[in-house]
Amino acid sequence: MLEINNLHASVDGKQILKGIDLKVSSGEVHAIMGPNGSGKSTLSTVIAGHEDFEIDKGEILFEDEDLIDFNTEERAHKGIFLSFQYPVEIPGVTVTNFIKTSINQMRKANGLDEMPANVMLKKIREKSDLLKIDSKFLSRSLNEGFSGGEKKRNEIFQMAMLEPKLAILDETDSGLDIDALKIVANGVNMLRNDDTAVVLITHYQRLLDYIVPDFVHVLSDGKIVKSGNKNLAIELEAKGYDWVK
């Protein structure tokens, strides 16, 4: 589904990614771990298509198409979802209105009619129940005055609503207490099936107790320096990142 070959990317002339190779097939969950500043968030942002980042070399293929030809929203329309590490506030736009707009814009881009209101409402209810989201929460302004945990839960709610093919979760576990972490993990696990893929970007192994990855990659100074299965994460936790450098 996703194939990254020898990816070099920079921002403001500073090289951050220095030759990433990564292959993610449908049905798989990959965890990307690494110390601060190793390029984890840059990788997710580059896949999503942020224009501040320059691709200097290499390619990102999604379902065999080179993503460089597509802008951020077109990539989203193809089914790429990014759960933000720091979700932005949009005052006056409710959680419901935002997801409604998002879903309908996605449908429009894919040649579908708007989702009928009753179907939308049913889906919202279903997904918010799943993530234990209070209905009052849905009429609040997007991320305005949300706690760290509420912001992350809202990201997962959007993911559940949009049902992307590829979900990239950037530090979704940060700022979550253990109960919220379980709820979020449960939401991600519900999305897992043979046709979807998940890339978890995380600093700690904790999240991986609840979302068990098929592959673990360690990113250091813009390169993947080690790959393995879930045991690699446990080993990392015990030995620290210096071990792989």
CB of 48 to another protein, least distance (A): 5
Binding residue for another protein (CB under 8 A) from 1, 28, 81, 180? Answer: 81
Q: How many residues does the chain have?
A: 245
- Binning the chain into helix, strand and coil, the percentages to the nearest 5 are 40, 30, 30
Binding residue for another protein (CB under 8 A) from 34, 49, 187, 213? Answer: 49
- If one asks whether residue 63 binds another protein (CB under 8 A), the answer comes out as no
CB of 236 to another protein, least distance (A): 29
Contacts (Cβ under 8 Å, ≥6 apart) of 69: none
Segment contacting another protein by CB under 8 A, of 4-12, 56-64, 89-97, 216-224: 89-97
Interface with another protein in residues 139-198 (CB under 8 A): 141-142, 158, 162
CB of 75 to another protein, least distance (A): 8
Q: How many CB atoms lie within 10 A of CB 192?
A: 16
Cβ closest to another protein, residue 106 vs residue 224: 106
- If one asks whether residue 93 binds another protein (CB under 8 A), the answer comes out as yes
Contacts (Cβ under 8 Å, ≥6 apart) of 60: 2, 3, 4, 7, 46, 47, 66, 67, 68
- If one asks whether residue 87 binds another protein (CB under 8 A), the answer comes out as yes
Angle separating helix axes 148-162 and 95-109, nearest 10 degrees: 30
